[in-house]
Amino acid sequence: MHIDIHGKYNRKDNSDMDLGISSLIVHFKSEEDASFAMGLSAYLTEAFNNCFKGRLFNKIEARCEPECYLSGYWGGGVYTMTE
């Protein structure tokens, strides 16, 4: 299982924390597993958003972004360390 959680301190327009679960979704093929992955994403997004509520980073309120560009899944035979 691979979940990539990180923020970007140097972003100019947001302080979002990226919740990268694309590799999890891609590799979980069955309907039951896909449902689990999507439920996990929703649960983690809500939990992180509750943690960040009212917190400012670089004068911007942070939130959890589950559909981020840098998700930890590169595809095409390129793998991250945990894959």
pLDDT in tens, 21-73: 777 777 777 888 888 888 988 999 999 999 989 888 778 888 888 876 665 56
CA distance 45 to 68: 12
pLDDT digits (tens, 9 = 90+) for 60-82: 888 888 876 665 566 666 655 55
| pLDDT for 25 | 74
- What pTM was estimated for this model as a whole? 0.71
| pLDDT for 36 | 87
Count of residues for the chain?
83
CA distance 66 to 69: 9
CA distance 40 to 21: 9
Q: Which two tokens stand for residue 79?
A: 């793998």
